[in-house]
Structure 1
Amino acid sequence: MNSYECGCDTIHDKQSHILEYHIKDILKEPDLHENQPWKQQEILETLCWITREASSTVLQDSIHLLLPPLLIVLDDYDPDYKKQGVVMVHDMILKLDASFVSSYGIDNLFLESLFKCLTYLSQERDIELLQATYPCILDLIAKVKKNRIQLYERVLTEGVLTGFSYAGQKIKFLPILIVPIGTLYQALGILGVQYLKALVPVLTDALCMVSSHPKLKQIHVLAAHALRVVIKTCWPRIPYYKGRIMASIAKSWTFYYEQKDQAMCDDIKQVYQVFEAACQGQHKLDQEALLSFNPTLFQPLFF
């Protein structure tokens, strides 16, 4: 913003002054709208600066000027530019009141573009786009008044579950796809039961995955947290998956118990405790089999 000059007298804080008094002047400059040079670094940095630094009042007052360029950047074919668009939209959403978001139709303007971002699952360049998009779309849905549950459900089905289908074998994508699951199941409640058939295998496989990849432990931690939330939320149906869940817990426990990783053992034990509560005794045969196989290893898990 150092290139912008105004004729105002005595200014102690130039950036604050420009944000408060000259945002509309910048956004109304003819060249910005006639040539649409949104891929020029200086212009993109200006937009990023405005959405990052402007107050909610300034954003609301200038929203009609901000939306066109934001949509252009967000809908660009290049994942790098799309990511910048997502970041700007997220910065703006966090500052705007839910009532303003709904009344101005901001949710309708951005949601479909954000859902499209969730389908970028093939290239390394897509990773940062996905990382930016999930928190953005969840924060936007949280400010939507109508059809909120249906939108969370779309994030789960069109985002997370589709992501596992196309990129679940790519270990760099796994943490990004696992992170939103807890939030989504807390929002969906018992409605999430219908997706257990697709989700439980993914989470149990992630919990006991073996790899030399440096992100492996992060994946285990995230899978343990997500599985706890899913079990707590959908506990009436969990006994149906007891064999798969118990096997996953046992494998993960064995690995970290032998590694003497107390923090990870505590996480796995918490998964077992909510699993035990959900099963209400229906898992006892599996528990007894493991204790019979190696009591020294499994007693600390079960008792």
Structure 2
Amino acid sequence: MVLSSSVPASLQVPSDFNRYADITDHEILQRLDRWKHATVPTLQNLQSHFHSEQASSLTLKQQADIVSATLVFNGEDVWVNPAAQTVAHDILDGFCEPSVPLVIQILEHNVKPLFRYNPHPSLNLQTGRKLARPAGGPMASQDFYDDQAWKTHPGASNIVLWCVENIPSTAYEELWHLVIPPIMALLDDYEPGYKLKGVKILTVMLERVPGSVLKRTGVDSLLSASLGRSLTQLQSPETSRLLPAAISASLSLILLVTPVGSVDRFDQLCGLLGDGIIGTIWPYSSDRLEALLASIEALPPLVKILGVGCARYLKVLVAQLVHPLSPRAFDKTSVALQISSLRALSAVIDACPERIPQWKGTILNSIARCWVGIMDANLDHPSEQLKRELRNVCQRLSAVCPTVLQDEYPLFIAADAAIFEELFET
């Protein structure tokens, strides 16, 4: 049995899936559902044909077409039938160690045509380098969002991700002009869902790409600016995933392209904390709990790396992190925020031990109020983790400020031993 030179056209995902959550027309939903179920036998047929052949007997184009068509079912997307995903995994297992020529074939002939009609205004598409000035003038960014042909191919990001996962570090130089344009198209899209896909791909790339390539092509600054714009997405269903992913990717990027102990690294880390989290997210998230929670959850790794450099932000950090500890209704969301705030507060205490003593009163006041609130509310399971984090902060505080063991802690215990002994136990 000879495998066809092309995979079934019916495996191309209908573009209507891009707006699936907003579709109310019952006929369209039924049509999409029928297509979704029909992909299973189609993939099974492709699977049987593939297994009947030796992979080495297939041309590079045949291999690329099979991988590209199958990858769109390699995820949790709305168009993926679980049975289709199982078959897709089996087919892709046959390409678990793809050659560089296969990755090039996919990027050149299966990915590039999807994105060629929306060139990023700040990229030279022939080299993957940053342009000195945006191509197309001041309105180039607006043109970038017009007629986005790649969005008519749902699942295109899955193909890009697979390629990035399988590019050796030594091959990025050769493939740079093929890899960066689709990643930047996703990162700089106006829809948060595509931004999130772009950040996930970038995170994988940053684990492999040499920092010298990023610096030499100028793309490091483009990526940094794009990730910074992701931090403004405070009101979308993707916010809770996008913010921590973008902060983590920004941190990885900074560590990759800046020398250890350099002024440049310190300035960029301060920019991420000061301008990014404190300046962009926190002022506008008082009524956007998911955004606030996501940013605080991402804080400890950044604080740990910045170390004593956090001291310049100590006033706002302490104020923000103790604020959720005030007595309030202990619903699940606020408990999650309290736990994350305490973990971040522990990281801040460890990072700035010399400066913490002047804040011990503020920290202890909030810790004690939160503890009393737990005891008064008589909470059970959710409070146990919260209680552990409160005790952990007290232990960290006593480690950097030993005087609290003789001065402040005994005063609390003397006031009400039944309540406070457990909080300050060592």
Please give the TM-score of this superposition, normalised by the length of structure 1: 0.85
Q: How far is 1:298 from its partner?
A: 0.8
Give per-residue Cα distances to partners, 1:222-255, cap 9 Å, x unaligned.
Answer: 2222111211222222232222211111123234
Matched, 1:26 2:106: yes
Q: Is the 8 A contact 1:153 1:184 kept in 2?
A: no
Tell me the C-alpha RMSD between the 2 structures: 3.2
Candidates 359, 370, 378, aligned match of 1:241 = 359
Aligned residue for 1:279?
A: 401
Q: Distance in 2 between matches of 1:3 and 1:103?
A: 42
Q: Distance in 2 between matches of 1:3 and 1:251?
A: 64
Q: Distance in 2 between matches of 1:18 and 1:229?
A: 42
Any idea what SS the aligned residue of 1:41 has?
Answer: coil
Q: Distance in 2 between matches of 1:125 and 1:270?
A: 31
Aligned residue for 2:160?
A: 47
Q: Distance in 1 between matches of 2:61 and 2:298?
A: 49
Aligned residue for 2:32?
A: none
Matched, 1:132 2:226: no
Matched, 1:192 2:244: no
Q: How far is 1:155 from its partner?
A: 1.0
Q: How far is 1:270 from its partner?
A: 1.8
Any idea what SS the aligned residue of 2:252 has?
Answer: helix
Q: How far is 1:215 from its partner?
A: 3.0
Q: Which amino acid aligns with 2:269?
A: Y
Q: How far is 1:106 from its partner?
A: 4.0
Q: Distance in 1 between matches of 2:59 and 2:319?
A: 64
Aligned residue for 2:135?
A: none
Aligned residue for 2:267?
A: 150
Q: Distance in 1 between matches of 2:116 and 2:289?
A: 44
Aligned residue for 2:344?
A: 226
Any idea what SS the aligned residue of 1:62 has?
Answer: helix
Which shows bigger deviation, 139-148 or 21-30? Answer: 21-30
Q: Distance in 2 between matches of 1:33 and 1:165?
A: 36
Q: Which amino acid aligns with 2:239?
A: D
Aligned residue for 1:181?
A: 299
Aligned residue for 2:379?
A: 259
Distance 1:8 1:203, change over 3 A: closer
Aligned residue for 2:413?
A: 291
Q: Which amino acid aligns with 1:26?
A: I
Number of positions where the alignment pairs a residue of Structure 1 with one of Structure 2: 303
Distance 1:297 1:9, change over 3 A: closer
Q: Distance in 2 between matches of 1:26 and 1:111?
A: 27
Q: How far is 1:135 from its partner?
A: 1.6
Give per-residue Cα distances to partners, 1:191-239, cap 9 Å, x unaligned.
Answer: 2111111110111123446344423333232222211121122222223
Q: Which amino acid aligns with 1:152?
A: L
Structure 1 residue runs without a partner (length 5+): none
Give per-residue Cα distances to partners, 1:134-156, cap 9 Å, x unaligned.
Answer: 22111111212251111111111
Aligned residue for 1:108?
A: 221
Structure 2 residue runs without a partner (length 5+): 1-5, 10-49, 51-57, 64-90, 119-148
Percent of aligned pairs with the same amino acid: 25
Aligned residue for 1:75?
A: 188
Q: Is the 8 A contact 2:186 2:197 kept in 1?
A: yes
Give per-residue Cα distances to partners, 1:33-66, cap 9 Å, x unaligned.
Answer: 5434322214333223322444434544312211
Q: How far is 1:283 from its partner?
A: 8.1
Which shows bigger deviation, 141-150 or 45-54? Answer: 45-54
Which shows bigger deviation, 110-119 or 281-290? Answer: 281-290
Please give the TM-score of this superposition, normalised by the length of structure 2: 0.63
Any idea what SS the aligned residue of 1:235 has?
Answer: coil
Q: How far is 1:165 from its partner?
A: 1.4
Decide which structure has the larger Cα Rg and report it.
2
Distance 1:284 1:103, change over 3 A: same
Distance 1:187 1:209, change over 3 A: farther
Q: Which amino acid aligns with 2:345?
A: L
Q: Which amino acid aligns with 1:31?
A: P
Matched, 1:64 2:177: yes
